[in-house]
């Protein structure tokens, strides 16, 4: 399964967002990650579908929308129609996961679930057959620039083994939080293949940082 570098636009310079996206493209990013926060599910507010729409018009990179919000079902259609190619919802915020995942897929886009660092993996085991990808948080959601939580490695290895043992090897594992050049190889070796990184890429030379991460992962 290909390792994918996913710059998190939460760490981008929003005053020059198109330039930042061009740099992501030049560096060789595989997709763009949007952290969507509502100030309720997590203690921060970020972007919505009004920002996704113009970005989808200027890039061919897939747009991955991570909905860290309460009642995400109310907003899935807006993000899908704005141009999202992937949408994940938090199991902690969704009472009817099967229905929500089916709703996402009805727009012919990829559907995923997200789990906070100590949310039981049983949720992922039960929902995996309905997912295109599963996002394991490696920080507590809400803010960028946090330190990586090392228990991720055991969780990712456990999930990867479950997927492989149950004919679900096509389900990708995404990691979000604290991913940097000095730990990305170990993270990928634990089973994650979609590597979301914010400050780890945007701090310094974005193009060179993406290329460096790509080289480590290849």
Catalytic residues: 35, 176
Is-contact 213 195, C-beta < 8 A?
Answer: yes
Strand ranges across the sheet with 194-197: 4-7, 194-197, 172-176, 133-137, 110-115, 86-90, 63-68, 32-37
Residue 127 phi/psi, 5° resolution? -95, -10
Tell me whether strands 86-90 and 110-115 are parallel, antiparallel or unpaired.
Answer: parallel
Residue 167 buriedness (CB in 10 A; 0-12 / 13-18 / 19+): exposed
């Amino acid at each position: 399964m290909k390792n994918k570098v996913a710059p998190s636009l939460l760490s981008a310079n929003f005053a020059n967002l198109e330039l930042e996206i061009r740099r992501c493209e030049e560096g060789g990013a595989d997709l763009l990650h949007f952290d969507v926060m509502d100030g309720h599910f997590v203690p921060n507010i970020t972007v919505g579908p009004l920002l996704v729409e113009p970005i989808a018009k200027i890039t061919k990179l897939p747009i991955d929308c991570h909905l860290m919000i309460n009642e995400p079902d109310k907003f899935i259609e807006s993000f899908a129609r704005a141009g999202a190619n992937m949408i994940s919802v938090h199991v902690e915020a969704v009472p009817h996961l099967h229905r929500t995942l089916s709703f996402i897929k009805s727009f012919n886009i990829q559907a995923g679930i997200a789990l906070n660092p100590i949310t039981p993996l049983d949720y992922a085991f039960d929902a995996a057959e309905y997912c295109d990808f599963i996002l394991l948080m490696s920080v507590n959601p809400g803010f960028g620039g946090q330190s990586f939580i090392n228990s991720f490695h055991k969780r990712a290895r456990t999930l990867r083994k479950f997927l492989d043992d149950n004919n679900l090897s096509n389900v990708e594992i995404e990691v979000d939080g604290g991913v940097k050049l000095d730990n990305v190889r170990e993270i990928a070796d634990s089973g994650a293949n979609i590597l979301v990184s914010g400050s780890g890429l945007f701090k310094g030379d974005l193009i060179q940082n993406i290329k460096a991460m790509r080289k480590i992962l290849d």
